[in-house]
Amino acid sequence: MPELPEVESVRRSLIPMVAGREIVRVEVHRRDVIIAPGDPPGGFSRQRSDVRRKPKRLNAADLLTGQTIRGVVRHGKQLVIQTDGHLGSRAMIIQLGMTGHVQVLCRGQKADGLSHVHVTWRLPDGRMVFDDARRFGGVRLFASAAALKEHLAALGPDALSIEGAELRAALAKADRPIKACLLDQAVLAGVGNIYADEALFLANIAPAQRASSLSPADVDRLAAQTRRVLEDAVLAGGSSIRDYADAQGNAGAYQLAHKVYGRAGEPCVICGSVLSAGVMAQRTTVWCPRCQPART
DNA sequence: CTGGTCTCCTGATCGC
DNA sequence: TGCGATCAGGAGACCA
């Protein structure tokens, strides 16, 4: 499932295939995976069905038709496609959610393994598609660079370059388990369930530990180990747990390096203790009771 | 405002 | 072999 390293791998593989290309035409196969300027509030198809309001009709301008892709950047798990053209500087964000894929296909190339393509961007020499079986992800369109900036401002600092001082500031007033803080994108952008468990293990911090009870040294260590695990995962091309793949359809290899995620009941790679499991912040959480002792 | 819980969705896996 | 039950989880809605 895509977290920061997977999104970064998609970004890197995407750039050489889309930079400088014009979006010639956009085909929307499912309107409800898109949030456009002027849509009622609420994310993608996440509103309760009894209160779901009708989104506005999409127009070619909002869909960035005729714009040229200038860059692909990332903040946390948000993949930002920057364009410019007759509309000025605009942008869209692709969120992969649980099962989202962005892939670029050559002209005529079949979309192998992509059975839920919701949006297709036609480029001069091929096409980029957004596929998402579970539809936890989606596409956000922005009318201006300023609107994009405002959206990203709600997120915490990017986890790939998080420094101890930044993380201490972000956690300063948090009175909840550190695991919940790490998963909160407003605190730290980019960490999901896999890398939260891995970083806490590497930093020898129990996931249930209250953020407010961590010492400055604890938080510094956590920031350093978070960076480290994310960097290593990026180098491995991300973790392919189910069917994650980059923009060329290549799988990652970091799932082979997981020390706790998915290993509940197995021995700790450091001390041999049986790894514990529980549910924390609505997420399956795995930790070593000996290497990550609970403290008060 | 804060933190905790519910909800959306469907492919993969499991037990019988 | 088939089929229903269960699990996975990002993040906005909702609630105390």
Among the listed residues A244, A165, A221, A155, the one whose alpha carbon sits nearest the alpha carbon of residue A191: A155
Q: How far is the CA of A260 from the C1' of C3 (A)?
A: 33
Tens of pLDDT, residue by residue over A74-121, are: 999 999 999 999 999 999 999 999 999 999 999 989 888 888 999 999
Among the listed residues A42, A44, A88, A38, the one whose alpha carbon sits nearest the alpha carbon of residue A64: A88
pTM summary value: 0.94
Residues 226-255 of A with CB under 7 A from strand B: 242-243
**In this structure, which amino acid lies at residue A189?**
A
> Nearest nt (C1') to A42 (CA)?
C12
Identify the pLDDT of residue A162.
96
Residues 20-49 of A with CB under 7 A from strand B: 45-46, 48-49
Pairing state between β A90-95 and A68-75: unpaired
**A198 given a catalytic annotation:** no
pLDDT band, residue A50 (cuts 50/70/90): very low
End-to-end CA distance of chain A: 33
**In this structure, which amino acid lies at residue A251?**
A
Residues 255-294 of A with CB under 7 A from strand B: 281-282
Q: How far is CA A229 from CA A233, A234, A274, in A?
A: 6, 9, 22
H helices of A19-89, in order, are: none
- Answer for the pair A63, A117: CB distance below 8 angstroms, yes or no: no
pLDDT band, residue A296 (cuts 50/70/90): low
Query: How many other C-beta atoms are found inside a 10 Å radius of the C-beta of residue A202?
Result: 21
